[in-house]
Structure 1
């Protein structure tokens, strides 16, 4: 090892910032006053990275209120390192307005900050300014002997022995960076097309059609979608919302008093998905009164018992029943404590019988029916997850009206504090997520369910969707969407279970979802090299990491002493690199554990070489 230890962090977005912040918080305790060089590698500005970069459309919003976004730890985070508090996004905006903070932002963003309230959904470029400031603050908090070097380029590969320095090859640089330790925080990455996407792309080229594969919507070539042209859109989540906005307001249309006034440049979006409905709207009210005690069933001890059990985990058998019980506990605790007039049993009696009953059992269903008279007050996770299962419509017009009614009802409920058990379930989901990341890769079903129920769009976006539906710019296809390529007619053809016998034809198909994080299909040469050189991946292609400290595992299950990885491409993926204040922040817990392990490794290496100050 050289006289000065070297740490390379690959990825300058919020996860990379989180690692640097935790290094700053833990350095004095674990590393003393030893010198350390940190190299931060990202082609995009540090702080926001690619997803939160400043140069994107002001029409693109966050899907969280300003008061629900923080990059800073608090006492609810379960970690060994010290809490280093800081402002949530809305409090930071207050600091900017008061002149206590001067952000690195252009005049348009500064104007948005001046008008921001805690209940607003900020633009992503405003969040970029907050993340940039957070990064700068984290760097400033580092001890005097720690220096940070930014490299605005792409890391191509990491090589090196387990017991020696790592070589980080950078694009445009002849000599590699030599590192005693490497942390990968690369976030969401592009992927190569899988066999289906390659076949659809080849079909589109043969017939002069448009096929946009999974991508970050802000980076997609939307100019290829012509005015008035029908476009089949596969996916009804947040990527669809971005697409909808960029192809309507982004082309000069406008919303006036609940009515969409088109510019004439919009295509016609025929949207469907497995569920056939958009993600549930963000809840539009705050918490009052007693919080449900969480976790009750899905806690650390539960996770540790599962990890000790023999054989592989089965999500539906081993994990889902406890999740259902935890979410039910949160739901009914809130209903009985905040809205007792809508219940028919004493809370203590119900809680005891509920905890004793098996999930999905007739006894539990009978108990809920007895104690909760109104079906609208009961928690039915299957109905929430698949609201169109078994639903059939005789005509597209009938489906449009039914889906508009469904979305309107969802909007009304998600903004009604008398239905505050929904917010309790949201808190339950966050609590569950904090424990499930201890289990590693549990498959995609949980992450999809969480995003659908807890990470949906702002309410105003669904109001805009309703207006676009009434204007005929968006048309609903329903659930169970399938798409085929018709070679004889040279068109894409969509069908759903909701509209039996109806086929929708178009010369354009958009896959409205993020790229697959699988290392087997990644377009990142960095991750592809790790995979090819022996890093372990799961059946879903996620990079296997040690849940204790995020060290990369090899195919024998051994943690690499000099390589760490955190983010959505790993088995320890969490719900986001930032979170709501006072909700435990599982990503913060991961950052702290990785930073402490890294500092301890570098300290011990220095001690071995006789260079650590006494």
Structure 2
């Protein structure tokens, strides 16, 4: 079947996987079907965000769209549903970083949307596995494809969906008329009454530092891999036994670690790693110098949940948005975040572990509520009410665990960091520390509120990921085994990499006066989704034409429905955008069930705005 065949007839991408689950076929429009004047919607991107939008279009269409026919076009070189990142054709060694029970693309009764709630199975229910399982990304891709097919099948009769397996290059057209989406390898543009930009995670051109490092590597015969999606990187340039500096200790590093060890024939036997002899030696460091915190290995035990939001909810966001001079994240927002997370932590401590507190819960709650966020009075109250410092929430210490830590040798650092990772694993799997789970729930609540503020800078997103979106516990156990085997070696915090004397040199204040030299450097982190450096030609063209850009380089959109703003702040009537390249980005394209996901709320608002507009076109 050609790539542009109607998805309603077969619902298959141009290169379907054998054995894939198929949505029942739906009949194509018959006589009296679509004509050249049929209203049309073009969605650039066909991954999870586009799939979530389709699900909301299907849910809202019966009430909002009265036209007989509607054409929906998906433009993406990758398979619909999974898209690039979650495609089923990637290494089976790569896992989800979330428990299967924490992934869904379906709304529930906690989601505050104007459209109808349409429940559906979370990933573990669909796959028939225990909810605590960490499934492979291939399985997640199959789930996303199934959701896509189900969403297409749920559309009203007369609505057709076509997948164009190519890239969109640019979009043109007047504000008052049809838009034209120009496709790679196609002489004629694709017309659409509306366009939604849902490209998902984007590649980026290297910044000045990365260009310098690449040029230096080329001159001296070195290897330099700039920020990229690890599954797409050419790791064959890293040889067996080669020393490799790795800058970045988050999820991209975990993928790198797996592909260069198990992916090269090594194997884990219990707590021991048996090398194949084909592995490079990875010297890893970062700003914090430690891996992201492991995923929590237990669930809520049925005790009282902290009632969230409490100190950072809609009213506080309204007040911040209404300030004539705007707001500063560090001065105005972070103290509210800190108090919200603290409330969740101490609520759980007092209700589940009262023997570890020194005052009555009611007295503490009253005084906590009265203390200004971040004030000395608040810190003094906590110190008097919670005797053991280990039971207090110290967000600054969590952010920089190696601050002030010094080792006289790299050998000492290896022992110290292995002890740190082992302690983190033990804590994250011990319900005695269940206030950590309460903080996790508060982080989700805070993220959902901060979306309304737009671009609050990259620090918050990194901090959230570090605390709440780390690797599965088994991955950190593998890290420990690889460290003991000498395959992974730690460099420390505030890592500095220089290109000098024909090599790359890494230093860290964690091990003063020492350095490691190597002929290969890997930047183990994702590209930043900035408009000025994105490799997406459509977004770069829009940037050149004058769309609004936030200080962090994101595409500015109307928070009400996702319409793209120009530099005067005026929303475009026919162009929308959703996803991580916008200032309305949420914590992810899919979400943990029963958390009132901002992604669901955004998808629903955009779907309703799209249908209302297209209904007017149809009439």
TM-score interval, smaller chain:
over 0.9
SS in 2 for 1:305: helix
Does the aligned pair in 1 maintain the 2:67–2:615 contact within 8 Å?
no
Is the aligned partner of 1:524 residue 2:558? Answer: no
Provide the C-alpha distance between the structure 1 equivalents of 2:181 and 2:150, rounded to a whole number of angstroms.
Answer: 26
CA distance in structure 1 between the partners assigned to 2:585 and 2:228 by the alignment: 19
Partner of 1:73: 107
CA displacement at 1:545 relative to structure 2: 0.5
Matches within 5 A, 1:445-456: 445-456=459-470
Is 1:131 aligned to residue 144 of structure 2?
A: yes
Residue in 2 that maps onto 1:370: 384
- Per the alignment, residue 97 of structure 1 pairs with none
**TM-score when scaled to structure 1?**
0.94
Alignment counterpart, residue 453 of structure 2, candidates 433, 439, 445: 439
What do the CA deviations read for 1:310-341 (whole angstroms, capped 9, x no partner)? Answer: 12321101110100010001101111111111
3-state SS in 2 of match to 1:54: coil
Contact 1:228–1:265 (CA<8 Å) still a contact in 2?
Answer: yes
Residue in structure 2 matching 1:422, options 417, 436, 445: 436
Q: Hey, what's the Cα distance between the residues in 2 that align with 1:428 and 1:352?
A: 20
Counterparts of 1:241 and 1:540, CA distance in 2: 26
- Tell me what 1:401 maps to: 415
* Counterparts of residues 198-597 of structure 1 (less than 5 Å): 198-288=211-301, 289-486=303-500, 489-597=501-609
The aligned counterpart of 1:84 is 118
CA distance in 1, matches of 2:231, 2:150: 28
Q: Secondary structure, in 3 states, of the residue corresponding to 2:185?
A: coil
1:143 and 2:156 are equivalent in the alignment: yes
Q: Deviation of residue 2 (structure 1)? A: 5.5
The number of aligned residues is 584
Q: Which residue of 1 aligns with 2:175?
A: 162
Structure 2 gap segments, 5+ residues each: 1-34
Contact 1:59-1:245 at 8 Å conserved across structures: yes
* Secondary structure of the corresponding residue to residue 350 of structure 2: helix
Q: Once structures 1 and 2 are overlaid, which stretch shifts more, 597-606 or 158-167?
A: 597-606
2:80 alignment counterpart: 46
2-structure distance, mates of 1:34, 1:494: 64
Tell me how far apart the structure 2 counterparts of residues 430 and 332 of structure 1 sit (CA, whole Å): 17
Task: Give the deviation of 1:33 after TM superposition.
Answer: 4.4
TM-score (normalised: structure 2): 0.93
Counterparts in 2 of 1:2 and 1:561: CA distance versus 1, 3 Å: farther
1:313/1:442 contact within 8 Å kept: no
5+ long unaligned stretches in structure 1: 95-115
Distance 1:149 1:17 in 2: 13
Q: How far apart, CA to CA, are the structure 2 residues paired with 1:313 and 1:161?
A: 35
- 2:320–2:326 contact (8 Å) kept in structure 1: no
Residues 115-152 of structure 1 show CA distances to partners (whole Å, capped at 9, x for unaligned) of: x3211100000000000000000000001021101111
Cα RMSD for the two superposed structures: 1.0
Question: Per-residue deviation at 1:32?
Answer: 2.4
Alignment deviations for residues 176-215 of structure 1 (CA, whole Å, 9 cap, x no partner):
0000000011001111111111000000000000000000
Matched, 1:56 2:97: no
Q: Is 1:602 matched up with 2:609? A: no
1:29 corresponding residue in structure 2 = 63
